[in-house]
């Protein structure tokens, strides 16, 4: 969602957006990684 907001705000093209390197986790990735240890059947990304 944040990427779409920046694309609209700064007038980025699809190609510019696709070429952007984002070193941070998305919110859904962060939630999955944080919640993973609470479920034994859901390994975190570091343990796959």
pLDDT digits (tens, 9 = 90+) for 2-39: 778 888 999 998 888 888 877 777 777 777 777 777 77
At 3 the pLDDT is 78
- What residues contact 32, with CB distance under 8 A and at least 6 apart? 42, 45
At 38 the pLDDT is 76
Q: Length of the chain, please?
A: 48
> How far, rounded to the nearest angstrom, does the alpha carbon of residue 33 sit from its chain's CA centroid?
11
- What residues contact 20, with CB distance under 8 A and at least 6 apart? 3, 12
The answer to whether the beta carbons of residues 4 and 16 sit under 8 Å apart is: no
Q: Which residue has the higher pLDDT, 30 or 1?
A: 30
Q: Residue 27: how many CB atoms within 10 A of its CB?
A: 10
At 2 the pLDDT is 77
């Amino acid at each position: 969602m944040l990427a779409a907001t920046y694309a609209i705000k700064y007038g980025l093209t699809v190609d510019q957006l696709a070429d952007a390197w984002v070193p941070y986790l998305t919110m859904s990735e962060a939630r999955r990684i944080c919640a993973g240890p609470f479920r034994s059947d859901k390994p975190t990304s570091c343990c796959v």
